[in-house]
Amino acid sequence: MTTPWPAEARYLQLVDVTVDLRFRRLILADRSLELPQRVFDLMLLFLGEPHKLHTRATLFDRLWAGTVVEDTNLSQNVWLLRKALGEERKAWIRTVAKSGYVFEPPGPIRWFERLPAASPATRATAPPVVERDTAPEAGLAIDTASPVADASGDTLAARAAEADRSGQAALPTSNPEAERPAARPDRRRRYVGLAAVLALIAVATASLMVWRHAQPRNAGSVALVMVEDGSGSSWPAKLLQQWLAWKLDSLPEANVLREGDVASGIGTAPIDVVFLSSVRSSDDPTKWELHARLIHGGKEERISATGNPADMPALVDSLSRRIVARLLPERAAPWPTLEASADAAQRYEGFARALDRRDWMTASRLGAEIVRLAPRFALVRLQLADALSQLSQATAAREQQRVAAQLLQGSPTEAVASLEARQQAMEIGGAGKALVLYQALVDRYPDKTGYRLKLAELLILAGQYERALTHLADAPGRSEALGVRIAKRLLRAQAYGHLGDPARMRAMALQAQQLARSAGDGWASEQASAWILRGKADDFQDPERKSASAFEQAATLYRLAGDTTGELYASYLARTADPPGPATDAELDVLLARANAGGHRRLEVAILLANADQHSIAGDAESYRSRLLQASATATAAGDPVLMGAVNTRLLNIEILTARFDSADEMARRQRRLDLRGTARLFSDQFAAALALIRGDAQRALDIVEASERLLPQAVPGQRESEALAQIACVRTDLLLSLGRMAEARKALERCRQGERWAVQFYAPAVGSYMELAAGDLPRARALLHQAEASMARMTPDRWLNAIEVARIATRLGELERSERIYAEVLPAVSSVGYTLLTALVLTGKAENAAARGDWENSRRFASEARQAIPDNAWGIVSRLDLLAAIDARQRGDAVAASALAGRLHRRARELGDVVAELESHPLFEPDALDGDCGLAERESLVARTGMRGVRLDWLLGTGDAPRAAVVR
């Protein structure tokens, strides 16, 4: 071939790519690659004749002159060259449909006699180029070794940099020293450095000679590579790829790799490669040729078939059997028959590509159409079940899975076992059996990556997050495909999120993102998923300061990947990060319509919940409840218990806020039947504990919270606890105080203070203030209360709850003006939205403030209104009102009534274990006045045992350190 560069040229340079003509390699900014002969010849042909259409016929004549080769060889070599150039440069080779290729370099091609300097764009980051002493038999190799000095002790990188600094021209003088290969490094150290890229060598060169004597393995890796020429003739090959992938993936002996895994390297493990392609027959355009090129055990084999479109499903089935027999001879049979019409088979390509993009909405629509055309097309039903499950169309997914499992019963035993496990995972109440089945598969076949990842995914869905993390741990000294490493980190991030640990959630998502980004193009969906998880971690940490940035980044990446489902979901998350208002509400309505039309039930419920929360923040309780009921109906129709649990938790909160406690009890029972785990269980349990505490049963509330805490992973020594554990510690502190267990409460408060989540930022100083008040340290209590008030939530109803708690403590500190100001702000808001419990709490607080000022007329009025608003068994409020009634009787001179009321209050407090209420009742009757009960010694012992010297009625009776009507300046 005549070239535009002279015979003395040793190197060619194009932008940041250097071509080493002697050693047939590419030198890039981050790696050095040796190319197989045909691939290198193709590169030189393109470099020598850029911007010219090279027809396929011409390329065959010039590259394989006088040799009869298959048409797919050219496509495979173009694919390999694009892989070698990297994702950012593969566009240099443009495919002209049904014609050939055009090489379109972005700049001029220069030639050199010695290794040129790095380009300015890559000079700072380009690693040194390492000369190899020998080339593999036929190889595309990546050399990532450390800088290697030549005989003079200088590195090639240093020379390149020096040449660049000296301003060498495009035609430098010959420099034998620069051309001399680098000194040979220690072989053992060098091959350790190459371990991470040997898989790519094997795939790209189709040689595998390095591993001819590899030891037998339990589960090998198989890459199924589609080779396409842009002519739109790939549908038979795509069907073959997917049918073959299902077969191999269902067997314990094979781990199926993505093309991205191959391109990025998978360590030292040997892999088999199957190149798949399909083209119209050159002899008869009405027929199709289907080709498979196998690289297995260091040998190459080609299998082909030709037929009419109507013959393709049967030919695909036949070739898949032959390929499985070559790769895994012991698995040649039995296999079910691929039953699909020609029309369904051709439509299948769009469905499969939607699955590749994880575009579940498009896939579910196309899959349903194909199933109608070919009801016995088992592969479509199986994959459609996955898509529907991702959309939380659980009922429809279960039906597709059941039919697919029946049609695929003629599969090997392990494949049938996997199908049964999948089916059980989708059945209501079948998660436990599915976990047992997958655990058995993992125990028997520990090298099967797919089984382990599926088990971890099911464990997360079942709420067994710690077990999931155990299976997602990296095995020491074990090399894994890039896709597996990314998937593990994304699943770990999900598990940590459910465990209420945003810090580790964020860290795992960032690791996955860095791995996906370094792998180049083809991993946009994984990067987007990582952005979603990072955004959710930030949201969990502080929902009041959440930003749309992470979700917008995810939406862009999903859009680039062609994943409309992911883009829609990320757009929804971005919109909910915006401040509530008419515009945001309207945008969510648009997204809701798209989710409904696409059948995305999970997203539909999520949008309804987000929209409901926006209404709640705006104080529109009626719209809030209406949206929740819509979400409940959608979740129930979808048959998804996880969605049902998320909706019911909010509905349970409404029942409590509106003081419908009996209804709330029934809803809490339904929640327990759903067997929620993780943060879903945590929030549900907190509402159940709140119900118990409202009725005065602090011990039962504590039991509920501690049972929830036991489901969360405990921090190892020297490691900070998760946010979920910190939040539980805050709740435990309050409950322990009610039970008079001050020492334990102080320890719990220390754990509470370790949290950084928005709720903890308020709760820790608030409960700390009440603790110091109970202990008698009023200055410390006042300081903490000011801190709590400054950290109150900005969202409703959380802000109202925070404010009411601050006002209650302020009253007991004698800061009545502060308390009254807060109550005056909150009462109109909570009354207008119908939150009866909060209204009753405010009225009770106002009754206490009026009594502390000696205004008993208004105190009675507020107390009466509060009693009318709540059931009699709402101990948390009724006990405070009974205390006021006893003091009212006493100040009116009715000692008998006062003593009777105080005695009844005291007995009930003892029954419930409410030490605070018991201590508060003591000043209202003399020791031993209750038939010898509660004598002076017993009272003193109780105070000494609990340390609650500050639980007195000074704030109400006008004695001690907290005078009545103290004014806050």
CB 95 within 8 A of CB 89: no
- Per-residue model confidence as pLDDT tens digits over 782-807: 999 999 999 998 777 889 999 999 99
Q: Which of 300, 315, 333 is the last residue of a domain?
A: 333
Rounded-to-integer distance, Cα 173 and Cα 177, Å: 12
Residue 832 counted as domain residue: yes
Instruction: Give the separation between CA 308 and CA 346, rounded to whole angstroms.
Output: 12
Residue spans of alpha helices (H) in 598-716: 601-617, 621-638, 641-657, 661-673, 678-694, 698-710
Which of 146, 89, 145 has its CA nearest to residue 121?
Answer: 89
On whether the CB atoms of residues 280 and 287 are closer than 8 A, the answer is yes
Structural element, H or E, at residue 224: strand 220-226
Residues 840 and 948 in one domain: yes
Q: How far apart are CA 789 and CA 802, in angstroms?
A: 8
Higher pLDDT, 829 or 135: 829
Mean pLDDT lowest for which of 126-140, 494-508, 700-714? 126-140
Mark whether 221 and 323 lie in a shared domain: yes
Mean of pLDDT values over 245-251: 92
Any residues with CB less than 8 A from the CB of 530 and at least 6 apart, and which? 490, 493, 509, 510, 512, 513, 516
Cα separation, 148 vs 126, whole angstroms = 14
Task: Identify which of 185-189, 616-620, 722-726 has the greatest average pLDDT.
Answer: 722-726
**294 φ/ψ angles, rounded to the nearest 5 degrees:** -100, 135
- % of the chain residues with pLDDT over 70: 82
Q: In the chain, count of helices (H) and strands (E)?
A: 43, 14
Q: In this structure, what DSSP letter does residue 965 have? A: T
Are residues 238 and 106 located together in one domain of the fold? no
C-alpha pair distances (Å), 366 with each of 340, 352, 359, 363: 15, 9, 11, 5
Residue 105: Cβ within 10 Å count: 16
Whether 352 is covered by a domain: the verdict is no
Neighbouring CB atoms inside 10 A of 369's CB total 14
Quick check: 379 pLDDT over 90?
A: yes
Quote the Cα angle for 726-496-431, to 5°: 115
Q: Residue 210's pLDDT band (boundaries 50, 70, 90)?
A: very low
**Closest CA relative to residue 247, chosen from 40, 414, 23:** 414
Task: Read off the amino acid at residue 74.
Answer: L
Question: If residue 419 lies in a helix (H) or strand (E), which one and from where to where?
Answer: helix 413-426
Instruction: Give the Å distances, CA to CA, from 579 to 119, 460, 545.
Output: 47, 31, 10
Domain boundaries, position 130: 11-185
Contacts of 585 (CB under 8 A, 6+ apart): 611, 614
Per the model's pLDDT, the better-predicted residue between 699 and 165 turns out to be 699
pLDDT at 969 over 70: no
Note the pLDDT of residue 75. 76
Cα first-last separation, the chain: 94
- The predicted pLDDT at position 243 comes to 96
**Residue 19 phi, psi dihedral angles, 5° rounding:** -105, 120
Q: Residue 452: what residue type? A: R
Q: Is the dihedral of CA 890, 892, 897, 901 positive or negative?
A: negative
Give the Cα separation of 852 and 751 in Å (integer).
35
Phi, psi (rounded to 5 degrees) for 290: -120, 125
If asked whether residues 30 and 104 sit together in one domain, one would say yes
Q: What is the CATH number of the domain that holds 170?
A: 1.10.10.10
pLDDT value, residue 262: 63
Given this model, what pLDDT does residue 417 score? Answer: 87
Helices (H), ranges, 86-234: 156-165, 176-179, 187-194, 198-205
- Domain stops at, among 313, 333, 353: 333
* 439 inside domain: no
* Residues 949/776, Cβ–Cβ less than 8 Å: yes
Q: How far apart are the C-alpha atoms of 74 and 77, rounded to whole Å? A: 5
Stronger pLDDT, 641 or 261, i.e. the higher one? 641
Amino acid at 587: E
Alpha helix stretches (DSSP H) within 357-412: 360-373, 378-390, 394-407
Domain count within the chain: 3
Would residue 923 count as lying in a domain? yes
Average pLDDT, the chain: 80
pLDDT of residue 795: 74
Other Cβ atoms less than 10 A from the Cβ of 748: the count is 23
- Mean pLDDT value across residues 550-556: 92
Residue 293 confidence (pLDDT) above 70? yes
Does position 195 have pLDDT exceeding 50, yes or no?
Answer: no
241 plus 296 within the same structural domain? yes
pLDDT surpassing 90 at residue 499: no
In 3D, which of 287, 296, 272 has the Cα closest to residue 236? 287
% residues pLDDT > 90 (the chain) = 36
The reported pLDDT for the residue numbered 213 is 28
Nearest CA among 410, 418, 405 for reference residue 337: 410
Q: What is the pLDDT of residues 502-532, one digit of tens each?
A: 889 999 999 999 988 877 667 888 999 999 9
The alpha-helical segments, DSSP class H, found in 118-218 are 156-165, 176-179, 187-194, 198-205
What is the enclosing helix (H) or strand (E) of 907?
helix 895-912
Cis? peptide before 136, omega within 30° of 0: no
Is the same domain home to 298 and 270? yes
3-state SS string for 323-362: HHHHHCHHHCCCCCCCCCCHHHHHHHHHHHHHHHCCCHHH
Say yes or no to pLDDT of 161 above 50: no
Q: Are residues 327 and 217 in the same domain?
A: yes
pLDDT reading at 593 higher than 80: yes
Q: What band does 679 get if pLDDT is binned at 50, 70 and 90? A: low
Place of tokens 């990188």: 157
Cis peptide before 334 (omega within 30 of 0): yes
What is the per-residue pLDDT for 477? Answer: 65
Q: What's the rounded mean pLDDT across residues 620-649?
A: 85
CB 239 within 8 A of CB 312: yes
What is the distance between the alpha carbons of residues 647 and 605, in angstroms, rounded to a whole number? 8
Asked if residue 621 lies in contact with residue 834, where contact means CB atoms within 8 angstroms, the answer is: yes
d(CA 104, CA 52): 8
Q: Under DSSP, is residue 12 helix (H, G, I), strand (E, B) or coil?
A: strand
- The continuous run of DSSP H or E covering 761 comes out as helix 758-775
Q: Which residue has the higher pLDDT, 376 or 708?
A: 376
Buried b (16+ CB within 10 A) or exposed e, 442-479: beebebbbbbbbbbbbbbbbbbbbebbbebbeeeeeeb
Q: Is the model more confident about 139 or about 74?
A: 74
Which residue(s) pair with 243 in the sheet? none
Which of the pair, 91 or 870, is modelled with greater confidence? 870
Residue 243 located in a structural domain: yes
Q: Please indicate, yes or no, whether residues 204 and 313 belong to a single structural domain of this protein.
A: yes
pLDDT at 68 (0 to 100): 59
Q: What is the C-alpha separation between 782 and 773, in angstroms, rounded?
A: 8
User: Which pLDDT value is given to residue 544?
Assistant: 63
Q: Would the pLDDT of 19 be above 80?
A: yes
**pLDDT, greater one: 79 or 884:** 884
Distance CA 275, CA 294 (A): 7
User: What are the tokens at 19?
Assistant: 């071509």
pLDDT of residue 67: 66
d(CA 495, CA 510): 15
Confidence at residue 192, expressed as pLDDT on a 0 to 100 scale: 30
733 pLDDT above the threshold of 70: yes
Measured distance CA(254)–CA(239) in Å, rounded: 19
Q: Which helix (H) or strand (E) holds 303?
A: strand 299-307
Q: What is the pLDDT of residue 678?
A: 62
* pLDDT(840) > 90: yes
Is the Cα torsion angle 845, 848, 852, 853 positive or negative in sign? positive
For the entire predicted model, the pTM comes to 0.62
pLDDT mean over 276-298: 86
pLDDT digits (tens, 9 = 90+) for 295-349: 887 788 889 999 999 999 999 999 999 999 999 999 988 899 999 999 999 999 9
Angstrom distances, CA of residue 161 to CA of 32, 168, 196: 17, 11, 28
User: What's the pLDDT score for residue 882?
Assistant: 95
In this structure, is residue 501 part of a structural domain? Answer: no
In a 3-state reduction of DSSP, which class is residue 698?
helix
Q: Is the pLDDT of residue 429 over 70?
A: no
Q: How far apart are CA 656 and CA 185, in angstroms?
A: 73
Pairing outcome for strands 93-96 and 254-257: unpaired
Residue pointed to by tokens 């004698």: 814
* Best CA proximity match to 572, nearest among 563, 557, 585: 585
For residue 783, what are its two tokens? 């300081």
**Residue 475 and residue 446 in contact, taking contact as beta carbons nearer than 8 Å:** no
Taking alpha carbons only, the member of 853, 765, 850, 843 closest to residue 809 is 765
The answer to whether residues 210 and 171 belong to one domain is: no
Which region, left, alpha or beta, applies to residue 540 given φ > 0 means left and ψ of -120 to 50 means alpha? alpha
The stretch 632-659 carries a mean pLDDT of 86
Q: What is the pLDDT of residue 148?
A: 29
Q: Mark which of 333, 365, 385 sits at the end of a domain.
A: 333
Do 31 and 96 fall into the same domain? yes
CA distances from 324 to 204, 247, 334 (A): 21, 8, 11
What is residue 966's predicted lDDT score, i.e. its pLDDT? 32
Least reliable range by pLDDT among 9-23, 559-573, 577-591, 842-856: 577-591
Let me know whether 100 and 162 are in one domain: yes
Residue 918 falls within a domain, yes or no?
yes
pLDDT number for residue 186:
38
Q: Both 169 and 304 in a single domain?
A: no
Q: What is the CATH number of the domain that holds 325?
A: 3.40.50.10070
Question: What is the pLDDT at residue 72?
Answer: 62
Does some domain include residue 772? no
- Which amino acid does the sequence have at 76? Q
